[in-house]
Structure 1
Amino acid sequence: MIERSGTAAFDYDLHGGTDLTRIQWHFFGRSRLPVAVQTWELPPGGAEGMHAHPEEDPLEELYLVVDGSAVMRVDERTFEMQPGDAVLAPVGAEHDVRNSGESTLKLVVIWGRPAPTDWSSYGTAKAAREATARADG
């Protein structure tokens, strides 16, 4: 099954941001993964809007820049992002992403409710654990 870029995309006002965000929710209603996988496109200067997901409705979000540049704030920290950079917004953290470039910002945003998961039987999990340990030094 393939879903082409732009399939069933829609414009949406996220959390009172500065502009509408173009969103494609990948395989909506067809994927059984316990997360939402979306592509977001924000125009130059566009922002999602500062918000948090409280414990009563816990959501964790991962933002991955595909094209363009962004500034993301998570609580008191600010991150400048380029293609390939990712930021995690944990449950309860106030966060916002803004297009800091002069062209459209394209992100993959994955969000869902946190739950324990055991990936230990997968070789890539072992390699990721080792790479993370090296990076954390």
Structure 2
Amino acid sequence: MSMLPYEARDEFAFDYQMHDGSPLRVSHHFAGQTGMPVAIQTWVIEPGGFEGMHRHEAEGALQEFYQVIEGQARMRVGDHTYDLGPGDSVLADAGVDHDLRNIGDSELRVLTVWGPPGTADFSNFGSRQRAVQIRHEADR
């Protein structure tokens, strides 16, 4: 099956419940057929809704990236709790308990990217080197 390289917002969204959380609306972009070893999804969580506390470890180890697109969230990752708004990101390492909650009065829309832990070397692109430099300067 050949896929078009374009998806409209929520075009293929479906209701789904993860990790004993509340139901949420999921768009699994390109149905996992991007050719990259990650899942790229957008989740829409209603006010008061939550993903459900969980962790990914052992043979099912996954690392997860979350970025709030719209709304207000609270995310617990291990012993830390973060209040998030549009543009804020959180990285949940494999084996670490985490949960995402909608603490706002409107829908929470979150971009999630998840896959097996590992590294990728994109150093031939200058943007990665600049990002590392900025973080290094912030640590001073």
- Per the TM alignment, residue 27 of structure 1 is displaced from its structure 2 partner at its CA by 1.0
RMSD over aligned Cα atoms: 1.0
For 1:59, the equivalent position in structure 2 comes to 62
Could you tell me how far apart the structure 1 residues matched to 2:76 and 2:116 are?
Answer: 21
Could you tell me how far apart the structure 2 residues matched to 1:120 and 1:102 are?
Answer: 41
Query: Which amino acid in structure 1 is aligned with residue 10 of structure 2?
Result: G
| Structure 1 counterpart SS, 2:30 | coil
Change (3 A) 1:65 1:32: same
TM score, norm. by length of structure 2: 0.93
For 1:39, the equivalent position in structure 2 comes to 42
Query: Which amino acid in structure 2 is aligned with residue 5 of structure 1?
Result: R
TM score, norm. by length of structure 1: 0.95
How many equivalent residue pairs? 136
Q: List aligned pairs for 1:76-95, cutoff 5 A.
A: 76-95=79-98
For 1:48, the equivalent position in structure 2 comes to 51
Identity across matched positions, percent: 43
For 1:116, the equivalent position in structure 2 comes to 119
Structure 1: tracts of 5 or more residues without a match: none
Show structure 1 runs of 4+ deviating over 6 A: none
Looking at secondary structure, tell me which structure has more helix per residue.
2
